[in-house]
Amino acid sequence: MKTMFKNKLLNTILLASACGIAIAAIAPKANLARANDNPKVIEITAKKFEFSPSQITLKKGEPVILRLSSSDRVHGFMSKPLKIDTDIPADKTEDVSVTPDTAGDFTVICDHYCGTGHGNMKMKVTVVE
């Protein structure tokens, strides 16, 4: 009987230390999440028939805001793998939140017909680990 009690006590202590370790392991991640509350803002300007900058690099799992604007007319901004599909109006800024979940090179295209060079209007998004 006494041994059983000892074992129970030991189990409780073991469980308590395991919880302590688990909390210690989770805590740094919680700090990281807080650091991401103010995601980086990247400004991208569209005009016939290009995006500027024409290439950006993002980090996998890191949220960013793409602040899109156009200096001439309405353009599209679309990438299926990055889960982005929006229009960039001519008269106001459009914010798009992106958290890339896969590393690699992705192409964003203008999917709103804007003239003769429309078919080549694209930019590259590189996502690194």
Residues found near Cu ion in the complex (CB under 5 A): 110, 114, 118, 121
Smaller CB distance to Cu ion: residue 118 or 124? 118
In whole angstroms, the minimum distance from the beta carbon of 49 to Cu ion comes to: 7
In this structure, is the dihedral angle defined by the CA atoms of residues 113, 67, 42 and 105, taken in order, positive or negative?
Answer: negative
Smaller CB distance to Cu ion: residue 84 or 121? 121
Cα→Cα distances 41→58, 65, 94, Å:
11, 5, 12
In whole angstroms, the minimum distance from the beta carbon of 123 to Cu ion comes to: 12
C-alpha angle 75/106/71, rounded to 5°? 25
In whole angstroms, the minimum distance from the beta carbon of 43 to Cu ion comes to: 19
Smaller CB distance to Cu ion: residue 58 or 121? 121
In this structure, is the dihedral angle defined by the CA atoms of residues 88, 95, 42 and 97, taken in order, positive or negative?
Answer: negative
Smaller CB distance to Cu ion: residue 56 or 78? 78
The tokens for 48 are 């016939």
The tokens for 39 are 């995601």
In whole angstroms, the minimum distance from the beta carbon of 76 to Cu ion comes to: 6
CB 12 within 8 A of CB 19: no
